[in-house]
């Protein structure tokens, strides 16, 4: 790098990393969850923290927070939680569903005792190859049933 470039670079200190909204992350998220508009959140931040921002900045910040919340978290080495693996014997796997409670057993018994609902014998369509299909009216349906008896 030449001398002129170094001189210019020396005049500009490094920028802070991160968002100016980061220290207020919890407040912004809580306000958003409570239904405050972006404009209202901007006004609250401006009044209380002297931040000069626009609603689109808050929108992008909230969207970024929501995306980060959906990302799977990395577990640091040595911080893993132990996983207990159950040994199953071949052909026999048991679970909590294999042993239903008394309440569930009673409901199953009641359902088994119920008689199935009879299906209506009435025709819903009248088929005549010379005419198009049409729905049978209740009156026509009763007439057809009487004529079949």
Given a cut of 80, whether residue 96 has pLDDT beyond it is no
Are the C-beta atoms of residues 136 and 123 closer than 8 Å to each other?
yes
Nearest to 42 by CA among 58, 26, 31, 22: 58
pLDDT reported for residue 58: 92
Give dist(CA 71, CA 117) in Å, integer. Answer: 50
Domain extents in the chain: 19-70
Give dist(CA 41, CA 46) in Å, integer. Answer: 8
Select the more confidently predicted residue: 11 or 133. Answer: 11
| pLDDT tens readout for residues 1-41 | 788 888 888 888 777 677 888 889 999 989 999 999 999 99
| pLDDT tens readout for residues 47-87 | 999 988 999 999 999 998 888 888 777 766 666 666 655 55
Question: Is the whole model's pTM more than 0.95, yes or no?
Answer: no
Quickly list DSSP for 46-83.
HHHH-----HHHHHHHHHHHHHHHHSPPPPPTT-PPP-
> Is residue 120 packed enough to be buried (19+ CB in 10 Å), middle (13-18) or exposed (0-12)?
exposed
Those residues whose C-beta lies under 8 Å from the C-beta of residue 130, and which sit 6 or more positions away, are: none
């Amino acid at each position: 790098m030449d001398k002129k470039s170094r001189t210019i670079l020396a005049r500009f200190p490094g920028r802070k990393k991160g968002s100016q909204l980061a220290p207020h992350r919890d407040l912004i998220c809580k306000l958003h969850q409570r239904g405050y508009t972006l404009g209202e959140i901007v006004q609250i931040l401006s009044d209380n923290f002297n931040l000069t921002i626009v609603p689109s900045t808050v929108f992008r910040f909230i969207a970024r927070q929501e995306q980060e919340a959906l990302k799977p978290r990395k577990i640091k080495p040595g911080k893993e939680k132990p996983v207990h693996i159950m040994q199953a014997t071949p052909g026999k796997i048991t679970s909590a569903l294999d042993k239903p409670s008394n309440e569930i057993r009673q409901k199953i018994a009641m359902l088994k005792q119920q008689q199935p609902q009879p299906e209506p014998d009435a025709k819903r369509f009248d088929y005549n190859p010379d005419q198009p299909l049409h729905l049978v009216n209740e009156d026509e349906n009763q007439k057809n049933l009487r004529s079949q008896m």
